[in-house]
Structure 1
Amino acid sequence: MFSSEVIASFNELETSIYNYICQHGGKVAYMRIRELADETHVSTSTILRFCRKVNCEGFSEFKVKLKMHLAKQEKTAIKSSQHAIVEFFERAFKGDMEEKISQAAALVAKADSVIFIGIGSSGILAEYGARYFSGLGKFSMYIKDFSYPIHSKLRHNSVTIALSVSGENPFTLTQVNQLKQEGSKIISITNNKLSSVSKISDVNIAYYVSEEFFEQTNITTQVPVVYILESMAREIYKLQQ
């Protein structure tokens, strides 16, 4: 509701109004202009100037927009962790996930280099995957910076494991495209097999759980990804023996 440009334009009195609204938004949405003026120790004309700065004709329009803004921020119901895990395993064992994991493990076992990529929470799990694979004897690396130079020796006979919930992250897609063109085999772990990253992969392992968002942040469970990574690493270990 308040852009950085608008906040920067506030004078001292307007900033005090802004601070009060941030702390008492639910209360302000039902106040009269005189009541807000008394609470913030400013004149009603100052409040009207404040409203015009946030693109409102008057205080009434401001309150309507404030109520809409607060409604968007209402907390959504979060599923229990048990629900997400049960949902995943019910689908996993009915489909071809184990076969896909075996295919991916076979590719990795034959590779000289293993590169993990991912952004955000997928990046954290990519780093975990690289460490877990290395711990079981298949040295792997995690590349955080999508512009990070990768030596041609490492790209030769390499496998890239791309982690992405949506499979549409532009940074991950750029990395996958670059590494694929340079000859690396692509294994992707995504939430569905119809995403852009999935479609250009040699092997895609899709886990299909309901995506969840909280205050515009993707909080989709990552338990399936941990299961897939650990299962793949153990299968690779068996193949290398």
Structure 2
Amino acid sequence: MFSYSQIKSLNDLEISVYNYIMDNKDKVRYMKIRELAVESHVSTTTILNFCKKMGCSGYSEFKLKFKLFIEEKEITKVSEDNTEIIDFFKKTNTEEYNEKIEDIVKAILKAKRTIFIGSSMSGIVARYGARYLSSVGQFSLCIDDPYYPTTGKFYENSVVIVCSVSGESKDIIGHINRFKKDNCCIVSITNTENSTIAKMSDYNIPYYVPYVKVGIYDITTQIPIISIIERIGRKLQNCREESIQDE
């Protein structure tokens, strides 16, 4: 109820009805249409037009839906089991996985700069990644703004490390398109290798853990992404130390 498109369709009088209803939720559920019209300083016709724009045939249907809306409580029980985390560490303790980390580190060492990108919760992880790699001597930047300008010679020949659980973020895909145009190497860390971002990448590390949502909010664990970033950082540090010793 009260979706973006519905609210956008309201005129000024209908918006005033909406504001009154949301400010007086407990009262409105018991009010008659004439009472609501008087209290919100509009006509009953305006109230009926408002109800239609909310997808209701009349005021009675609106009151019923509104009552359910304000009484609605999402109860989502989430698993406290950490088996998927343990499974992730077991799956990534392989020679093949280590070789992929090595390839990514070699690409980072060859590149002009390293840039992390992500949005929402993945944006927070991306900031952590940039900070972590900077701590081992690889100065890194983070872009967590979906509208941040990513055009220009500055980005040419960079390694771009993409953090994305779903691998389907439209804004991040737009960034990747621009980075690929500038000959950047794309490394993605996603939950599945079948996602769009994974397929666009030069290197992809999938981690396969269950998606978890509470309502509209994604609370899928970020531990695998953090672990992967830290492995890249530690490998990077060791490669630098080995090259110094060889000189």
Q: TM-score, normalised on structure 1?
A: 0.77
Aligned residue for 1:188?
A: 188
Match of 1:6, SS?
Answer: coil
Say if 1:92 and 1:207, in contact at 8 Å, map to a contact too: no
Cα 1:170/1:12, change in 2 over 3 Å: closer
Q: Which amino acid aligns with 1:6?
A: L
Query: How far 1:79 moved relative to its partner?
Result: 3.2
Say if 1:118 and 1:126, in contact at 8 Å, map to a contact too: yes
- The root-mean-square deviation of aligned C-alpha atoms, in Å, is 3.3
Rounded to whole Å, the distance in 1 between the matches of 2:72 and 2:102 is 44
Greater RCO (CA < 8 Å, at least 6 residues apart): 1
Aligned residue for 2:150?
A: 148
Aligned residue for 2:208?
A: 208
Query: How far 1:71 moved relative to its partner?
Result: 7.6
Rounded to whole Å, the distance in 2 between the matches of 1:19 and 1:178 is 45
1:112 and 2:118 are equivalent in the alignment: no
* Pairs within 5 Å for 1:85-104: 85-95=82-92, 97-104=97-104
Higher mean C-alpha deviation, range 117-126 or range 194-203: 117-126
Q: What is the aligned length? A: 228
Rounded to whole Å, the distance in 2 between the matches of 1:66 and 1:231 is 51
- Describe the superposition over 1:47-98 as per-residue Cα deviations: whole angstroms up to 9, x where unpaired: 7853541212334312443356458752322333xx3x43133134225544
Task: State which of 11, 14, 17 in structure 2 corresponds to 1:10.
Answer: 14
Rounded to whole Å, the distance in 1 between the matches of 2:184 and 2:201 is 10
Rounded to whole Å, the distance in 1 between the matches of 2:237 and 2:12 is 57
Cα 1:24/1:192, change in 2 over 3 Å: farther
Q: TM-score, normalised on structure 2?
A: 0.76
Rounded to whole Å, the distance in 1 between the matches of 2:117 and 2:127 is 8
Rounded to whole Å, the distance in 2 between the matches of 1:210 and 1:91 is 11
Query: How far 1:13 moved relative to its partner?
Result: 6.9
Show structure 2 runs of 5+ residues with no match: 242-247
Match of 1:93, SS?
Answer: helix
